[in-house]
Amino acid sequence: MKRFLLCLVVFAPVLLEAQSLTMEQVVRLAQDSTIRAHMSESSVEASRWEHEQFLALRRPQLTLSLTPGYQKMTFEPNNYFFKSRNYDMFNGFTELRLEQKALGIGGEFYASTGLLFTQYFNNTDPARLFSSVPLGIGYSNGLLSYNPFKWEKKIADLKLREADLEYVKELGDIALEAVTLYVNCYTAVSRYEICDRNAEVARTLLSIGREKYDVASVSKNELSALELQSLNAENALFDAREQLESARASLFSFLRIQDNGQPLDLSEPEVPEYRLFNLDEVIALARDCNPARIRSQEQTVSAEQQVRKARIQGRFLQSAIDLNVGLQSTVAQFGDFYQDQKPFMIGNITFKIPIFDGGLARSRTKAAESSLEYAIRAEQETLRDLDLQVSLALRQFNIQQDLIQRTSKALTLADESFDLARELYSEGETDINTFILSQNRKDEAHTNYLNSLRAYFKSLYTLKMLCGPEL
């Protein structure tokens, strides 16, 4: 029962020549070629570029801006206050600005150099001016205020971690489905081979029985038993053929291949050696690679961010600072704007004291604290559900390990018993009913072994899917 011949379709979109496939090869093929694998790869790639975009915005940003403009204002000439303010002018401003977020303390540092050109058209003297700021350095931020940068970094890192783990989990899901379909197909081929052999034996025995019946060597009852055995074998063969076609179609559809009659040998899945896992270690592995846990952790951090923001913004006094220092000059000739530079300093400190907000700050803080409490409890519930799922999966795996060993031993005994019964029946030392009973026991042992083989690999790859490739 090591290899069984199976005709598969093996071309577009994935082309395979006649070859022997193992379960591991099918898993790799599924993880490389299925639509789910391509979708998962695209999703994690998008998440990685989003994280790269986030990091890029935290690096220095250098920009060049050009701003041309035209203004014309006319007031009543009798209005003494506005008479001297009538103007008709064109201006253009260009600035090269370097900005860097102050990640540790919040706010933003910036350095810039700029030039303003102004042309007047209403006989103003001088008619043309050049204003320059060769160097300006500034910083703006709220004093003792909420710093969003450290929270954004935590959340962005968790999102990237979640995307990577989601991709690994999806590959595990694909491997689990590929293994299930492969073992189903192997089981269907094996069952078809068994039924085909049983049908051939039943036809042979029926032919011999009829010959013996004609010479009165067997009774009518024995002949009827042989006819029934042959009919049951043919029905089982028909059912096995239908199950084989269904299993083969499911495997081909999943791997995106079609049947063109090329032969393919499916190797019997090799059962690994008996393994004992420590529950605490398995749970630790599952927690470390579970995207749902990272997602709940991300929600908790986001809720903590909102609590921090609400508490700071709800203080009695809020303040902000904006400081800008540098050099500047205004001249009438283009070549003179770097001469006679004058230092300047502009500083603003803003204080904001809420007098009455109708309970806005308090309600906003309470809402954020309630959201945080909900997120913490949801994260704890996620961990409990994950631990339970892992413990049940490990328990099921241990059961299937024991079961596969027992069914394998039972299969060996059933084969030996059937060989003996067949030999005794051929020598006329036993009747047909004993032979049929031995054959049925052999078939049952084969069926139990194949079912336990399917359940074993399903439990194994379910545990791998939960705990990651490190298991």
pLDDT tens readout for residues 431-447: 777 888 888 899 999 99
* Burial annotation 257-274 (CB, 10 A radius, 16+ → b, else e): bebeebebebbbbebeee
The single-letter code of the amino acid at 169 is K
In 3D space, the residue among 52, 48, 45, 54 whose CA is nearest the CA of residue 152 turns out to be 54
CB 80 within 8 A of CB 91: no
Q: Tokens in use for 355?
A: 């007098």
In 3D space, the residue among 153, 96, 206, 150 whose CA is nearest the CA of residue 435 turns out to be 206
pLDDT of residue 5: 30
Higher pLDDT, 253 or 160: 160
User: pLDDT at residue 459 above 60?
Assistant: yes
pLDDT bracket for residue 10 (50, 70, 90): very low
d(CA 96, CA 66): 9
Mean pLDDT of 146-150: 84
In 3D space, the residue among 27, 291, 285 whose CA is nearest the CA of residue 169 turns out to be 291
Higher pLDDT, 211 or 280: 280
Mean pLDDT of 80-89: 59
d(CA 359, CA 363): 6
User: pLDDT at residue 180 above 90?
Assistant: yes
The helix or strand, by DSSP H or E, that contains position 349, with its residue range, turns out to be strand 342-352
d(CA 443, CA 197): 11
For 285-328, the pLDDT digits (tens) are 999 999 999 999 999 999 999 999 888 877 766 777 788 887 77
pLDDT of residue 316: 62
pLDDT bracket for residue 164 (50, 70, 90): very high
d(CA 256, CA 181): 13
List of residues 6+ apart from 107 with CB closer than 8 A: 101, 139, 140, 141, 142
In 3D space, the residue among 65, 146, 82, 132 whose CA is nearest the CA of residue 335 turns out to be 132
Backbone angles phi, psi at 21, to 5 degrees: -110, 135
pLDDT bracket for residue 407 (50, 70, 90): very high
Mean pLDDT of 248-275: 80
d(CA 180, CA 12): 23
pLDDT bracket for residue 337 (50, 70, 90): low
Where is average pLDDT lowest: 35-49, 181-195, 210-224, 360-374?
210-224
pTM confidence score: 0.80
Higher pLDDT, 269 or 323: 269
Q: Tokens in use for 185?
A: 């197909």
Instruction: Name the DSSP class of 88.
Output: E
For 209-239, the pLDDT digits (tens) are 787 777 777 778 877 888 888 899 999 999 9
Among 69-73, 115-119, 137-141, 301-305, the range with the most confident prediction by mean pLDDT is 301-305
pLDDT bracket for residue 261 (50, 70, 90): low
Do you know the residue count of the chain?
Answer: 471
pLDDT above 70: percentage of residues in the chain = 88
User: pLDDT at residue 129 above 60?
Assistant: yes
In 3D space, the residue among 162, 84, 96 whose CA is nearest the CA of residue 133 turns out to be 96
pLDDT of residue 130: 82
User: pLDDT at residue 16 above 60?
Assistant: no
pLDDT above 90: percentage of residues in the chain = 44
List of residues 6+ apart from 354 with CB closer than 8 A: 316, 318, 361
Question: 107: how many CB neighbours lie within 10 A of its CB?
Answer: 19
For 49-71, the pLDDT digits (tens) are 999 999 998 999 999 999 998 88
User: pLDDT at residue 374 above 90?
Assistant: yes
Residue-averaged pLDDT of the chain: 84
